[in-house]
Amino acid sequence: MADKLHFSLVSPARELFSGEVDHVIAPGTDGEFGVLAHHAPFMTTLKNGVVRVLEGDTVKMRIFVRGGFADVTSAGLTILAEEARMLDGVSAGDVQEEMDATLLKMQALDKDDSVRATLQEHFDYLESLKAVLVH
């Protein structure tokens, strides 16, 4: 049996996953990268995209992340995502509804309101998420 990689994915809201896997592919800002057990240590930033968790050659889990950091150590891979969502059970229609609600909130604010930038970041995240679900 091949060695397993300990993988954890955490967002500010909660830990989405922690466990032993074969392989993880993540969206680094300099390009996609893969991590297996015993990978050389490194740290990198992430861009919006899909983290794929594999068992053998089969993708077992897909998690959409909005930015963050990936840290590979001798203990495994930890991803600290600014925002993350499991893609199982998420539809483009649900995301569009959330985008519409976020847009309405933004339109109700003054242009100088500090909350507007946070809502815009969330809207951009949802837009990226929807694009992944549609394609």
Residues 12-33 pLDDT 10s: 999 999 999 999 999 999 999 9
Token pair in block for residue 41: 């240590």
CA distance 135 to 18: 28
Task: Identify the sign of the CA torsion 44, 32, 14, 59.
Answer: negative
Confidence of residue 134 (pLDDT cuts 50, 70, 90): confident
CA distance 117 to 37: 39
